[in-house]
């Protein structure tokens, strides 16, 4: 057994499921004002940000998560100039947004400035200098509060937050009321994308409730999936708008827009990927069709803890 | 910590990645002539067959794996009457094949009769009585040898074997020579589907080599993916034939064929699922395009062990 | 890695220490009125009783624990006829007590009758039929309440309970008040032994507090240690009495008493073992000497949980 | 589960037993010419040296191991002036030897200079500057070869090597031939101590064989035990000589010698500890009495691997 790695990151994906990744190095551990923060380097996925014991993203497969979260929304918009990001401390969501040369202004609100400072230091492959881009306004405050108070409207909104956890602050950003308010910060052609929870069979409760709630607020609300290996299973996303539907764009039009606008090399997303993205398996469609939960402040949903 | 489950199944998905599932019960453990066999009941995924320490399939999500493996091939064929299955001891691949009412004869060859007897006893939700269907001829011998010696040709061939492991017997069923031989047991309209390995980023070596080898043997060779949570990540499949291409069937045609032929209720697969199935992400396409390995008996590939 | 066992019992020995034992079989799992109960069969230690996720005892090394707990006290007493046992549901403490042919009556009080029924069924090597001995009176009630209400006095008292856990009922049996009450149920020559907690360096808080509390109640209170591998480290015991001191018995006298009285074959204990048992290492003596905590109902101690 | 530590050291103590310690930091990882070397900081036991995946010693409890290994031998000798150490790269065995002010010369032979350089850097609490003591001659070569070639005789010999592993070089230092040779480097009053393997029940094979082999070479060969929590169970040591017997020294004489000679503060060892040290439990004595294996170069023993 001397070939078995000595050090392992251990995460309870659910109360009944553990994933472990061999760890080469622990780059940082500490507590910010809001959460336990760790930076580790895994053998399988490179450097990873861990918040409160949960993997947020890893160098090795973060491109799947971040391109899946950002690129469909950005590409769907005919000319995204103003973008709002909630969360996304690693700077990779920002990187994907800034890769569109149409963008003139990004407001990114992440409550935890310590996490961002640590990501700046330890995860250069994530942010790739995005925080220094002059188009970026970075604020450390509650994202909900910012939106309530701003007069701005945004072409694209990306919500890149942890799943709702009992006792955590994020859950208020998953309610019907929040989505209704958010709509007032968007134009008719605006697009809003978010990660909407694990679609791992057996623990889809949060995913289903979020998507059912989004449907009540947005005329177009299209769930899609991507599998991010470090998350331990398939992951859900949702693209929302008043009238733009991602399924109406052809493969050629997507590739044309990418060629015209995107200054990065994309690894996950292109016109071909886009075509397949919005076909989700029958069992998820069936579960979504049956879902009745609408998330409100009085009726929140939380991921299972122990 | 008294709420943490006491008993856990632990699997090295790779030398650097472990997945653990809480175990309610150990139904059986022993060794057959060929392998270590365990039947466990997990909290997350119900009853699972474990061979040589690797999860083969679990009640909770096996429908994803088995429908993804079998249904595209069966549905693509205009009138599948004769089917060959290699492996598939749980009986769930057989179940999916038999669900097509066009089927007149299935030859299933699984070398390990003890595994099949255990699956019959412990996994009724997998096989659902399929082994008793009069259309089935079940043989316990080497599948390669059977094919080499038979004069039969098959409309559909399904290979449902473990990945190639150093020292194991399966690796000879992943070579160019085997695929060339297999082609002689197929008609022009025949279809051949197999699971072609993990597409988890970082451990795609086997998947890429298998798919590159298949391309040398079959004019149509289309890789696709499905995420089976108990496998710890996304999984690859490949649909091969001389001239039938799954991408040419419309959603409506798929749904029409299912309605006309399939006697089971499908949970993963339908016309909508089929449309998305053959769009794989850009990074996998890029890796497949660059792959040069051709698997031969003298140049085999193996999944990494320790 | 196919030689790595698939199924593992996992126990948080402390919040920072896990031990795992390969599991061959899960014989039983359920909940009694009081606790989560599991019977597992480990490769290393055979069949084990697990209560609330903590190993209570295993066939493979329980003889160390049970002989260490019972035999010094029983042997020290010149003629033990009446014995009280609190806890000890496996029946192995009872087995050791009954092995002395001087014993006329044993009152055993274990609150959880379901655990005892399960031990009777699954752990025959532990109890070896002891529950059927006509000298035994087995009661299912709170041991403290029984003692408070009984008029009996006992020659030997054995307390074989889990460590004090926040929210559990046992902690009241580790207080100064309880020990004072217990003394009224003992004669001048009576002896009282108990397991007094882990002596694993770094988590000795409970052990030190219990032993310091015992000293306030008993003129003779002698801590000793034995290492029970399935417990994950060395374990503390304490022998208490008004005037009998175990260090005053010679090796020969111990062996003579065993030969005259004990009907079982002892594996851990004899005169030689006894001589060494009461020499504990300097660091434990130093910590015990500095300890000031006295456990009361208002100032309880608990083992660390998460 | 957010309170469960994220990072864990995992060690297969046996093929069927795992211990895990929460890891705060990974200070170093790499490979020397001879072995995989890691320095980690655990929550429970502080900084630890890991060689080939096995814990060698940790700050938190190394004093138990090193005092148990060195102090009985050093104290038993009436006037130890010359000492030979094989292995012991952490420098803690050296520290204990040098604590005796009678010592004039120590020859320490550890084949792996890289490990020693790493211990010098990362484990100051282990060596406490011992490598700089002018009485020390440190050599990097095969200890067996050194002894075969030297003309020196030593008052005390300490062998502080890993257990014999198949394919490793150490196993030749556990043979009857080696012990016979070693005896020629010792005077009549010389004393030789070594760690002689795990005494964890079920995996005592190596321990029993080593001790049986030592008995054939040394007229006085006394096994003893100490429990080092980070080793996962009780550990065996053996004190050997031609005529000095540790059991003949009184507690007072030990304490007198310590007071006269030892310049360190001892935490585990003193006269009281010494008195108890040589009483081992009956089951170990019984197993030792029955053991017949004599280790030779043609009949080696190895700890079980996978």
pLDDT for residue A171: 87
Residue in C5, C7, C53 nearest the CB of B4: C53
Tell whether the model's pLDDT for residue B167 goes beyond 90: no
The answer to whether B288 touches A272, Cβ cutoff 8 Å, is no
Domain range A8-58, CATH class: mainly beta
The answer to whether A23 touches D7, Cβ cutoff 8 Å, is yes
Task: Retrieve residue A52's tokens.
Answer: 């409160």
The answer to whether C4 touches D306, Cβ cutoff 8 Å, is yes
CA distance D26 to D29: 7
Among the residues of D172-301, which ranges form H helices? 176-183, 205-217, 251-261, 271-277, 282-290
Q: How close is the nearest chain D Cα to the Cα of C241, in Å?
A: 22
pLDDT for residue A2: 58
Coil/strand/helix, residue C28: strand
pLDDT, tens digit (0-9, with 9 covering 90-100), for C264-299: 999 999 999 999 999 999 999 999 999 999 999 999
Residue in B1, B11, B53 nearest the CB of C53: B1
Query: Domain residues of chain D, as ranges?
Result: 8-56, 62-290
Please report which confidence band the pLDDT of residue C306 belongs to, taking 50, 70 and 90 as the band edges.
Answer: low
Q: What is the mean pLDDT of residues B241-261?
A: 97
CA distance A127 to A123: 7
Q: What is the mean pLDDT of residues D181-187?
A: 97
pLDDT for residue D72: 98
pLDDT for residue A202: 87
Among the residues of B57-112, which ranges form H helices? 62-76, 92-98
Pick the closest to residue D225 from D198, D249, D255, D244 (CA basis): D198
Bridge partners of residue D233, in order along the sequence: D228
**What are phi and psi for residue C226, nearest 5 degrees?**
-145, 150
The answer to whether A196 touches A234, Cβ cutoff 8 Å, is no
Domain range B8-57, CATH class: mainly beta
Please tell me which chains touch C, using 3 or more CB pairs under 8 Å as the contact test.
B, D
Please tell me if residue C44 touches chain D, with a CB cutoff of 8 Å.
Answer: yes
pLDDT, tens digit (0-9, with 9 covering 90-100), for C114-131: 999 999 999 999 999 999
The model's pTM:
0.95
Pick the closest to residue A288 from A213, A217, A227 (CA basis): A213
pLDDT for residue B165: 84
Among the residues of D46-112, which ranges form H helices? 62-76, 92-98
Q: How close is the nearest chain B Cα to the Cα of D119, in Å?
A: 27
Catalytic residue list contains A160 = yes
What percentage of residues in chain D have a pLDDT greater than 90? Answer: 92
pLDDT, tens digit (0-9, with 9 covering 90-100), for B112-130: 999 999 999 999 999 999 9
pLDDT, tens digit (0-9, with 9 covering 90-100), for C213-244: 999 999 999 999 999 999 988 999 999 999 99
Chain D residues with CB under 8 Å of C269 CB are 281-282
Bridge partners of residue A42, in order along the sequence: A23, A46
pLDDT, tens digit (0-9, with 9 covering 90-100), for C30-61: 999 999 999 999 999 999 999 999 999 999 99
Coil/strand/helix, residue D45: coil
CA distance D45 to D227: 14
Task: Retrieve residue A28's tokens.
Answer: 């940082």
Q: How close is the nearest chain C Cα to the Cα of B165, in Å?
A: 10
The answer to whether D236 touches D248, Cβ cutoff 8 Å, is no
Count of C-beta atoms within a 10 Å radius of residue D165: 17
pLDDT for residue D1: 54
CA distance C59 to B109: 44
pLDDT, tens digit (0-9, with 9 covering 90-100), for C64-96: 999 999 999 999 999 999 999 999 999 999 999
Please tell me if residue B26 touches chain C, with a CB cutoff of 8 Å.
Answer: yes
Taking only residues 4 to 23 of chain D, the set having a beta carbon closer than 8 angstroms to any beta carbon of chain B reads 4
CA distance A301 to A206: 6
Pick the closest to residue C242 from C120, C153, C127, C121 (CA basis): C153
Tell whether the model's pLDDT for residue B306 goes beyond 80: no
**What are phi and psi for residue C299, nearest 5 degrees?**
-135, 65
Three-class secondary structure assignment of chain A = CCCCCCEEEEEEEECCEEEEEEEEEEEEEEECCCCEEEEEEECCCEEEEEECCEEEEECCCHHHHHHHHHHHHHHHCCCCCEEEEEECCCCHHHHHHHCECCCCEEEEECCCHHHHHHHHHHCHHHHCCHHHCCCEEEECCCHHHHHHHCCCCEEEEEEECCCCCCCCCHHHHHCHHHHHHHHCCEEEEEEEEEEEEECCCCCCHHHHHHHHHHHHHCCEEEEEEEEEHHHCEEEEEEEEECCCCHHHCCHHHHHHHHHHHECCCCCCCCHHHHHHHCCCCHHHHHHHHHCCCCCECCECCCCCCC
Which of the two residues, A164 and B86, has the higher pLDDT score? B86
Calculate the average pLDDT of chain D. 95
CA distance B285 to A271: 13
- Residue D11 contacts by C-beta under 8 Å, 6 or more apart in sequence? A6, D18, D19, D20, D50, D53, D54, D55, D232
pLDDT for residue D306: 53
Please tell me which chains touch A, using 3 or more CB pairs under 8 Å as the contact test.
B, D
Chain C residues with CB under 8 Å of B23 CB are 7, 23, 26
Task: Retrieve residue A280's tokens.
Answer: 């989700």
Q: How close is the nearest chain B Cα to the Cα of C211, in Å?
A: 26
Assigned CATH for C8-56: 2.30.140.10
Q: Is CATH 3.40.50.150 what the domain over C62-290 is classified as, yes or no? A: yes
Residues of chain A where predicted confidence (pLDDT) is lower than 70: 1-2, 305-306
End-to-end C-alpha distance for chain A, whole angstroms: 32
**What are phi and psi for residue A239, nearest 5 degrees?**
-110, 125
pLDDT for residue A167: 77
pLDDT, tens digit (0-9, with 9 covering 90-100), for C152-203: 999 999 999 988 888 777 889 999 999 999 999 999 999 999 999 999 988 8
- Residue A54 contacts by C-beta under 8 Å, 6 or more apart in sequence? A11, A162, D2
Tell whether the model's pLDDT for residue C1 goes beyond 60: no
Please report which confidence band the pLDDT of residue B171 belongs to, taking 50, 70 and 90 as the band edges.
Answer: confident
Please report which confidence band the pLDDT of residue D171 belongs to, taking 50, 70 and 90 as the band edges.
Answer: confident
pLDDT, tens digit (0-9, with 9 covering 90-100), for D199-252: 998 899 999 999 999 999 999 999 999 999 999 889 999 999 999 999 999 999
Pairing, β D154-160 against β D186-198: parallel
Residue in C22, C267, C282 nearest the CB of D273: C282
Pick the closest to residue C7 from B9, B38, B12 (CA basis): B9
The residue length of chain A stands at 306
Task: Retrieve residue A207's tokens.
Answer: 């995913």
pLDDT for residue A168: 75
- Residue D190 contacts by C-beta under 8 Å, 6 or more apart in sequence? D77, D153, D154, D155, D156, D157, D241, D242
Please tell me if residue D230 touches chain A, with a CB cutoff of 8 Å.
Answer: no
Please tell me if residue A273 touches chain B, with a CB cutoff of 8 Å.
Answer: yes
């Amino acid at each position: 057994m001397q070939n078995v790695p000595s050090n392992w990151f251990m995460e309870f994906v659910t109360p009944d499921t553990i994933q472990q990744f061999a760890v080469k190095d622990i780059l940082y551990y500490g507590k910010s004002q809001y959460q336990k923060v760790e930076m580790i380097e895994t053998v399988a996925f490179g450097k990873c940000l861990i918040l409160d014991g949960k993997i947020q993203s890893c160098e090795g497969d973060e491109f799947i998560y971040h391109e899946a979260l950002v690129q469909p929304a950005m590409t769907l918009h005919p000319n995204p100039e103003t973008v709002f990001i909630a969360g996304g401390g690693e700077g990779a969501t920002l990187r994907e947004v800034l890769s569109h040369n149409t963008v003139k202004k990004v407001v990114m609100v992440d409550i935890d400035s310590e996490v961002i400072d640590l990501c700046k230091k330890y995860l250069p492959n994530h942010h790739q200098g995005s925080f220094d881009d002059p188009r970026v306004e970075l604020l450390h405050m509650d994202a909900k509060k910012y939106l309530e108070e701003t007069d701005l409207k945004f072409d694209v909104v990306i919500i890149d937050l942890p799943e709702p956890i009992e006792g955590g602050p994020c859950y208020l950003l998953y309610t019907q009321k929040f989505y209704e308010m958010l709509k007032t910060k968007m134009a008719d052609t605006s697009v809003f994308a978010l990660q909407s929870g694990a679609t791992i069979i057996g623990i889809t409760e949060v995913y289903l409730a979020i998507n059912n709630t989004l449907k009540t607020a947005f005329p177009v609300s299209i769930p899609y999936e991507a599998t991010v290996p470090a998350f331990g299973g398939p992951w859900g996303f949702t693209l929302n708008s008043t009238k733009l539907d991602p399924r109406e764009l052809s493969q050629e039009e997507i590739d044309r827009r990418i060629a015209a606008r995107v200054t990065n090399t994309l690894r996950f997303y292109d016109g071909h990927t886009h075509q397949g993205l919005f076909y989700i398996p029958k069992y998820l469609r069936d579960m979504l069709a049956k879902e009745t939960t609408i998330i409100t402040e009085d009726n929140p949903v939380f991921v299972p803890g122990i």
